[in-house]
Structure 1
Amino acid sequence: MWQRGAVTESAPLDVDLALLGGGGAASLLLAALDRHGVHDLRIAVVDPVRRRGQDRTWAFWGHPDDDLDPLLSASWQQVEVITAARRRVLDLAPLRYAMLRSGPVYDRAAEAERRLGATRIVAPAGTVVDDGTRVVVRTGGGPTVRAGWVLDSRPRPPARPGRTTWLQHFRGWWLEADRAVFDPARAVLMDFRTPQPARGVSFGYVLPVSDRYALVEYTEFSPALLTDSGYDTALTGYRDLLGLDPAGLRVREVENGVIPMTDAPFPARPSPRVVRLGTAGGATRPSTGFTFSAMYRQADQVARALAAGRPPVPAPAYPRRHRWMDAVALRALDRGGVGGPDFFDRLFDRNPAERVLRFLDGVTTPAEEVAVMNSTRLLPMIAATAGDAADRVRYRLRPTRSAPAIPAAVVGVSPAGAAGDAVPDGAGSERGTPR
């Protein structure tokens, strides 16, 4: 099914810009194109699903923002990081932590699509052929699209396997209480009192919208997924740890998600006129799963470039040095050199909260990054750095292998700002939630 114009199914549709995928990354891009006045391009959106309603939640930190603020469900100036030993309250000023649900994002994108005069093709994108001058996209059931540029936010495996590959996977309950049990002025960013897996790290978090309504979530960073009953057991245990009486609670919604945490490469420009966005374009931070902020930056950079008549190619989502630090941190966690709760506890204990959050978003200076690295345990990180360097040499000498597919899952809320187009299109910083 496709809409707009008098093109027949057998006739190709010629456009300047084709968007493949319609999740978070594409929705933010449509809004950015409209915001920056890019109304003179022929645009097609190719996606088999029309995104509507609340199918995921993004949480992220940043300064108050005139663009996103009208869409937010809640925001907090204070958050808690909790370990077995202590409860730390962090003042995020001048930043704040914010929650954004998908419904308003999709609504804004639909309005932008209308104002841009875009053609919507409700069909899956198939083969994509780039000859360096035009890109031909064949669709399943819709017209063939010929585009000057293709922006592709569909899930894609990495170019090759990572040296370390974990998953950020989670389940969250939207809980409504009979009485006031949540503190709407403060969110729980990471609560490490949850039972820790043998290999990996787990934590809970709480994002209150009011004193009677909040998202309560259980998250793991680990190599393998849990069963459905495993997530429910863990989430029930966290609810009880918070002292919430199940008799006075109702589960209004359930959100699940899986986000890749890997040092494997995600090429952001696989061919001259194809640009990948979201997780497929490297927007997911390997060591944390944060995606949303990088995804938002990508959309804004693409729109600004098109408004100025430049190619729609955003800057790398994270500096090269950050990807190296992520690889080392992942290796240290995976090999047991550092424990997850201890790693994050030391970061927040020895740095201003604002610095840690900007570091996790990939926008700190080299001097700030030295201070952050000095917060970690030195010997395990040195060992992880040496091991990572040796593995890089081995990878250069080894024939390229195809990367395994990342498990598909319903993507929704994710801890600490992870939300983005992840697994599938859209997970997710940018997790379904916090990032």
Structure 2
Amino acid sequence: MDNVDLALVGGGGAGSLVLAALDRHDLRGLRVAVVDPVRKRGQDRTWAFWGAPDADLEPMLSASWRRVEVTTTARRRVLDLAPLRYAMLRSGPLYAWAAEAEQRLGVSRIDAAVGALDDDGAGVTVRDGDGAALVRARWVLDSRPRPPRRPGRTSWLQHFRGWWLGSPDPVFDPGRAVLMDFRTPQPDRGVSFGYVLPVSDRYALVEYTEFSPALIDDAAYDAALRGYATLLGLDLTALTVREVEDGVIPMTDAPFERRPSARVVRLGTAGGATRPSTGFTFSAMRRQAEQVARAVAAGRAPVPRPAYPGRHLWMDAVALRALDRRAVGGPQFFDRLFDRNPPERVLRFLDGATSPAEDLAVMRSSPLLPMTSAVLGDAAGRLRARLTAASGSRDRSRADA
């Protein structure tokens, strides 16, 4: 069994970004192992995010846009994102970048599924499903999907299906992306919208997304996509579906355990990188990776900061509660958000980068009475949770006495 400084359990997006960050900081002497039964390659997913142009990511982007569209049944709004831009990164270039970083860093690969992480305080033994030791590491970064520490007061899902559509004729506008198009039929409990990311005038990702408590079936996703394509004026008989993408992302106020033991650190969605109100994850994963690499370079523990400020997670919990209780409609909520704030402020807020003063401006732009009700309901829910936890603790104490 090998001994390493750092074991990455999971070689997907979060693990790939860590490898790239370690390589960028030239940490050649670090002993690193990646433990994953699958060697990630090719296009298995697409990330969309916003930010300033970036020298590292720029060559890997499939496309980026300075203008995005937010549409409701009432109006179409085209937003200028300068100085930011909206960008799309497919997984293939990121996995290839990580593979090159692996070679330069001399990373060990262990093609096995992990069953247990035994942390004795001095290090972690990574074991397979049968209990056999795979590697011993000073620190483990675990990016495998994991449920939250406890159920949330509101637990929704962002679930979607997208078609990569090819056309023999120019039918898409590559100069702008459709960020949210709320002309789709709205579910009884939840929010739906369409989404268009054009790579060229003949090739684009067209997607149907729902924020709701439960998934729908395959036939419903396909019917929704056909309906949205019709709204866009697309003739599907003249287009080719080249690829299909599906996904499910948690949207919940439940807490995720960022550090389940002394030397195990979780990254990605399991480490809190997914923004509860939107499902966006990539930017936070990248921040986590950079913070890990800087900490290692400085001789510190590879523990990134929380992905989002606590006040933003509270605001997300309130917004989710308002949507879940139907106190506010999803299209109206997002329409007001973009109508009453500069686009850059909205995007930086959703990325967790706004100041407290900007957060107050965002709060003021939301419907006052429904959101006040949601704030009070959230406070009552938190109080009930504390009382329930305290009662359970007392009961266990009596049982042990």
Taking structure 2 as the reference length, the TM-score comes to: 0.96
Tell me the equivalent position of 1:194: 184
AA at the equivalent of 1:351: N
Q: CA deviation at 1:168?
A: 0.1
Q: Structure 2: how far apart are the matches of 1:321 and 1:27?
A: 29
4+ runs deviating over 4 angstroms: 140-143
Equivalent in 108, 127, 130 of residue 119 of structure 1: 108
Equivalent in 237, 252, 258 of residue 268 of structure 1: 258
Q: Structure 1: how far apart are the matches of 2:331 and 2:366?
A: 12
Q: Secondary structure at the match of 1:398?
A: helix
Q: Structure 1: how far apart are the matches of 2:377 and 2:133?
A: 50
Equivalent in 281, 284, 289 of residue 271 of structure 2: 281
Q: Answer whether contact 2:28 2:105 (CA < 8 A) is retained.
A: yes
Q: Answer whether contact 1:13 1:143 (CA < 8 A) is retained.
A: no
Query: Is 1:27 equivalent to 2:12 in the alignment?
Result: no
For residues 218-262 of structure 1, give each alpha carbon's deviation from its aligned partner in whole angstroms, at most 9, with x where no partner exists: 000000000010100001110111010112100000000000000
1:305-324 alignment, distance < 5 Å: 305-324=295-314
1:409-420 alignment, distance < 5 Å: none
Tell me the equivalent position of 1:55: 44
Q: Structure 2: how far apart are the matches of 1:398 and 1:37?
A: 49
Query: Is 1:99 equivalent to 2:122 in the alignment?
Result: no
Name structure 2 gaps, 5 residues minimum: 391-401
Tell me the equivalent position of 2:172: 182
AA at the equivalent of 1:126: G
After alignment, is 141-150 or 350-359 more displaced? 141-150
Equivalent in 148, 151, 156 of residue 141 of structure 2: 151
Query: Is 1:230 equivalent to 2:230 in the alignment?
Result: no
Q: Structure 1: how far apart are the matches of 2:134 and 2:36?
A: 13
Q: Structure 2: how far apart are the matches of 1:248 and 1:172?
A: 18
Tell me the equivalent position of 1:302: 292
Tell me the equivalent position of 1:43: 32
Tell me the equivalent position of 1:363: 353
Q: Answer whether contact 2:116 2:129 (CA < 8 A) is retained.
A: no
Q: CA deviation at 1:270?
A: 1.0
Choose between structure 1 and 2 for higher RCO, CA contacts under 8 A separated by at least 6 residues.
1
Q: CA deviation at 1:143?
A: 4.8
Q: Structure 1: how far apart are the matches of 2:176 and 2:148?
A: 37
AA at the equivalent of 2:282: F
For residues 289-332 of structure 1, give each alpha carbon's deviation from its aligned partner in whole angstroms, at most 9, with x where no partner exists: 11110001000110111111111011110001111111000000
Q: Structure 1: how far apart are the matches of 2:343 and 2:168?
A: 34
Q: Structure 1: how far apart are the matches of 2:125 and 2:116?
A: 8
For residues 83-137 of structure 1, give each alpha carbon's deviation from its aligned partner in whole angstroms, at most 9, with x where no partner exists: 0000000000000000100000000001111111111001101111111111111
Query: Matched residue pairs, number?
Result: 389
More helix by share: 2
AA at the equivalent of 1:344: F
Q: Structure 2: how far apart are the matches of 1:367 and 1:293?
A: 22
AA at the equivalent of 1:246: L
Q: Secondary structure at the match of 1:230?
A: helix
Q: CA deviation at 1:140?
A: 4.2
Query: Is 1:343 equivalent to 2:333 in the alignment?
Result: yes
Q: Structure 1: how far apart are the matches of 2:171 and 2:51?
A: 27
Tell me the equivalent position of 1:240: 230
Query: Is 1:291 equivalent to 2:281 in the alignment?
Result: yes
AA at the equivalent of 1:42: R
Structure whose CA Rg is larger: 2
Tell me the equivalent position of 2:242: 252
Q: Structure 2: how far apart are the matches of 1:143 and 1:50?
A: 20
Tell me the equivalent position of 1:4: none
CA RMSD after TM alignment: 1.0
Q: Answer whether contact 2:125 2:133 (CA < 8 A) is retained.
A: no
For residues 11-65 of structure 1, give each alpha carbon's deviation from its aligned partner in whole angstroms, at most 9, with x where no partner exists: x221110000111000011011001111111111000111010000011100001
Tell me the equivalent position of 1:131: 120
Q: Answer whether contact 2:164 2:241 (CA < 8 A) is retained.
A: yes
Query: Is 1:17 equivalent to 2:9 in the alignment?
Result: no
> Identity rate of aligned residues, in percent?
76
Query: Is 1:214 equivalent to 2:214 in the alignment?
Result: no
Query: Is 1:72 equivalent to 2:88 in the alignment?
Result: no
Q: CA deviation at 1:144?
A: 2.3
AA at the equivalent of 1:289: G
AA at the equivalent of 2:29: D
Tell me the equivalent position of 2:163: 173
Q: Answer whether contact 1:188 1:206 (CA < 8 A) is retained.
A: yes
AA at the equivalent of 2:311: R
AA at the equivalent of 2:202: R
Query: Is 1:385 equivalent to 2:366 in the alignment?
Result: no
AA at the equivalent of 1:80: E
Q: CA deviation at 1:267?
A: 1.3
Q: Structure 1: how far apart are the matches of 2:174 and 2:289?
A: 31
